[in-house]
Amino acid sequence: MRSVLVITRGRVQGVGYRWYTREAASARGVTGWVRNRRDGAVEAELHGSDADVQVVLDSMTQGPPGAQVDEVLVTDVSSGAPRGFEIRATV
């Protein structure tokens, strides 16, 4: 099981990036959350098998049409895996 915190920078707000991330995670059975940040980045926490988390990270690097992903920072974390995948409020 792998748990990561992800910060994505670029043109990632206003282009459906959070929904895209949720769909990619749900398709692989990865749990966690995603939210916009006031600084224009998108932050997510992912929990799942190493392979499934990597597939979601690869998707996040691409992003949906209209997005321009400039940077994806990934940090391993140790936190409990939530059920499902949610979009959270902006912080």
Task: State the average pLDDT over residues 62-73.
Answer: 97
Long-range (24+ apart) CB contacts under 8 A made by 52-59 are 52/28, 53/2, 53/4, 53/28, 55/24, 55/28, 56/21, 56/24, 56/25, 56/28, 56/30, 57/4, 57/6, 59/20, 59/21, 59/24
Would residue 70 count as lying in a domain?
yes
- Is residue 36 among the annotated active site residues? yes
Would residue 87 count as lying in a domain?
no
CA dist., res. 32 & res. 46, Å (int):
5
Number of domains in the chain: 1
Would residue 27 count as lying in a domain?
yes
**Annotated catalytic residue within 2, 9, 18, 37:** 18
Residue 8's pLDDT band, with cuts at 50, 70 and 90, is very high
CATH of the domain at 54: 3.30.70.100
| Domain range enclosing 46 | 2-78
Instruction: Kindly report, residue by residue over 14-62, the tens digit of the pLDDT.
Output: 999 999 999 999 999 999 999 999 999 999 999 999 999 999 999 999 9
- Is residue 18 among the annotated active site residues? yes
**Annotated catalytic residue within 2, 22, 28, 36:** 36
